[in-house]
Amino acid sequence: MNYKKKINSIKNKYGKFNSNELNYVLNVIDDKTKNIDYVKKLEDEFCKKFKVKYSIACNSGTSGLHASLAAIGIGPGDEVIVPGLTVVMDAYAAIHLGAKPVFADVDKDTYLVTYETILKKITKKTKAIMLVSLQGLPVDIDPIIKLAKKKNIYIIEDNAQDFFGEYKNKISGTLGDVGIWSFENKKHLSGASEGGIISTNSKYLAEKIRKFAGIGYKNMTANGGRTSLAIEKVQDPNYERFDTIGLNYRMPKIVAAVCLAQLKRFKKIISRRVQVARIFREAINDCNWLIEQRIPKGFKHTHYTFSLRYLGESQFGIKWKSFYSKYKKMGGDGFYGACVCPHQEPSIKNYFKKKSWKINSLPVAEKIQKEIMQFKTNYRNLEDAKKKALILKKLVKLTNNEKKK
């Protein structure tokens, strides 16, 4: 292998990992520097950047959801409110603990759950509310926090698609009891594969989460704790290692090394996504059948995607898929549809049927899920984004002309 060529490719001007990622990874596998604790460095840096007391690195955002719900004591008989428009992982986390996910409808303009939609779903069995900052837009959390405190309910913030968004000048993901972020390869910050991190300001919850996600090692604490002690101690046949039943959700050091390098320059990464969103926003200016996800005043959207609702089918009969095909044919990258509402996924429907649980319809979520178009924002060369946005602009103009005929 031509290592020099490979390194030059990684360090390319538009490379995804062209900062210190490679240097840190080499430190992990080099005998002379392999003892650098990049997991601890990542956790400490995250606490500093997000102004939280405790951070626990894990191997995915999904495992972070599971560990967090386990830490607050979710179990059989409990209900966990989750958004009706999101991926299935939030519901899965509750199901794996024996709890019932209860789906709340969303606002048609922001795509997010609201105080009103959550209030309708609260029962005496409700123990947690999971809030998802879909596509990078924070939830209007203040009224939900007041409601949760009144009802003694935990709030878990799923910020897998939002990194350093802002809500009324406060950092999104740090306002509930627990926040979870994803470092899956397409997210704002990438671990080059999978990865995640959990944050809380509760010492009690931090220790519970860390132990559950760290196989239950008894010497783990809210701030960390070693899993490997002096060799004389661990070689003792009477040494007892575990006091908690947990799972191995720990983040590998190589993933932590990549994440740390990305975290140190996260503002530049987020800024570029916001710039790309602005480019696409200009492309649909004055188009009344492509409606951008509404950003309320005082909210900072970090644009995991540039998301909008397509009303072309209802207004002039051009189907979502036809518009998609035209965009691709003209040279566009395509765009993603919204994930099927979790309560409509076969896995959830079959599980609810098995448990004899009723699934109520969510008219808003079900309607807008079919309309949403999500344009990628992770272009590292803004010129590429401008070319794709220009194609979209031309297609909008072409469609408007056809509509007039």
Residue 234 has a pLDDT of 72
Residue 225 has a pLDDT of 73
Q: Among positive and negative, which fits the CA dihedral 23, 26, 28, 30?
A: negative
Percent of the residues in the chain that have a pLDDT greater than 90, as a whole number: 92
Catalytic residue among 121, 127, 187, 208: 187
Chain-wide mean pLDDT for the chain?
96
Write down the domain spans for the chain. Answer: 16-265, 267-404
Across the range 326-342, mean pLDDT stands at 97
Residue 20 has a pLDDT of 97
Residue 405 has a pLDDT of 62
- For residue range 193-248, what is the model confidence (pLDDT) as tens digits? 999 999 999 999 999 999 999 999 998 999 997 655 677 777 788 888 899 999 99
Say if residue 24's pLDDT is above 80.
yes
- For residue range 298-333, what is the model confidence (pLDDT) as tens digits? 999 999 999 999 999 999 999 999 999 999 999 999
Cα separation, 125 vs 289, in Å, equals 42
Phi, psi of 293 (to 5 degrees): -50, 125
Across the range 174-203, mean pLDDT stands at 97
- Whole-structure pTM value: 0.96
Q: Which CATH architecture has domain 16-265?
A: 3-Layer(aba) Sandwich (3.40)
Q: Are 311 and 290 in contact (CB under 8 A)?
A: yes
Superfamily name with CATH number, domain 267-404:
Aspartate Aminotransferase, domain 1 (3.90.1150.10)
Residue 226 has a pLDDT of 62
Say if residue 116's pLDDT is above 90.
yes
Cα separation, 156 vs 88, in Å, equals 15
Residue 229 has a pLDDT of 64
- For residue range 117-162, what is the model confidence (pLDDT) as tens digits? 999 999 999 999 999 999 999 999 999 999 999 999 999 999 999 9
Percent of the residues in the chain that have a pLDDT greater than 70, as a whole number: 98
Is 187 noted as a catalytic residue in this protein? yes
- For residue range 43-93, what is the model confidence (pLDDT) as tens digits? 999 999 999 999 999 999 999 999 999 999 999 999 999 999 999 999 999
